Amino acid sequence: VVLADPRQAGIDALLRKIYEIYSDFALKNPFYSLEMPIRCELFDQNLKLALEVAEKAGPFGPGS
């Protein structure tokens, strides 16, 4: 779940990046079943990195 103001600059790019990470590390994994938790360290690392990059690029977080 991503909660963001639709007027937030760059939110479309962030959502595309999150979907790209999801498709790369979950949907392309033959052992992953839909609606099951994603248990993949690379998924977690890449998602965290994408969120950190987005946070540095724009006003995310409390008080925005």
Classify residue 19: in a domain, yes or no: yes
Classify residue 49: in a domain, yes or no: yes
Classify residue 3: in a domain, yes or no: no
One DSSP character per residue, 14-64 reads HHHHHHHHHIIIIIT-TT--TTS----HHHHHHHHHHHHHHHHHTT-STT-
Classify residue 62: in a domain, yes or no: no
Domain count, the chain: 1
Classify residue 64: in a domain, yes or no: no
Q: Which structural domain, as residue segments, surrounds residue 38?
A: 9-55
Between these two residues, 2 and 46, which has the higher pLDDT value? 46
pTM across the whole model: 0.75
pLDDT of residue 54: 86
User: How do residues 11-36 score in pLDDT, each as one tens digit?
Assistant: 888 899 999 999 999 999 888 888 88
pLDDT of residue 55: 84
Classify residue 2: in a domain, yes or no: no
